[in-house]
Amino acid sequence: MPTPEEVYTELRQVFDPEIPVNIVDLGLIYDVKVNEDNRVHIDMTLTSQSCPEARTIPEVMKRRVCGLREVTGCDIEIVWEPAWGPHLISEEGRKVLGIDEEQEEE
């Protein structure tokens, strides 16, 4: 059975083409669940409701996740609450983008 950690590892290989940070470190993934039938459910958001990659990113995610051993399918739900903001970017993502806490507060 695939674990949520294995799913997160695959999702770290998915990038928004406009931002050089993977979608996990960007803070777009809110939840990952694997059910007893090895089907994966992912709750995610996008940086904005008008994101030009709103179709592409989930398609790439599904291909990566469905490539994991024993995964029987992948459902992705795009949610808007809580709203995404720079505060959700991981420490690693902040390093890549050159953002620190002080810059975010300005």
How many H helices and E strands in the chain?
4, 3
CA distance 44 to 62: 12
The whole-model pTM stands at 0.89
Whole-number Å distance between alpha carbons of 22 and 15: 4
Q: Phi/psi zone of residue 48: left (φ > 0), alpha (ψ -120 to 50 degrees), beta?
A: beta
| pLDDT for residue 100 | 76
Structure tokens at 59: 């398609």
CATH homologous superfamily of 4-84 equals Fe-S cluster assembly (FSCA) (3.30.300.130)
Tell me the domain boundaries of the chain. 4-84
Note the pLDDT tens digit of each residue in 29-77. Answer: 999 999 999 999 999 999 988 988 888 999 999 999 999 999 999 999 9
Which amino acid type is present at position 106? Answer: E
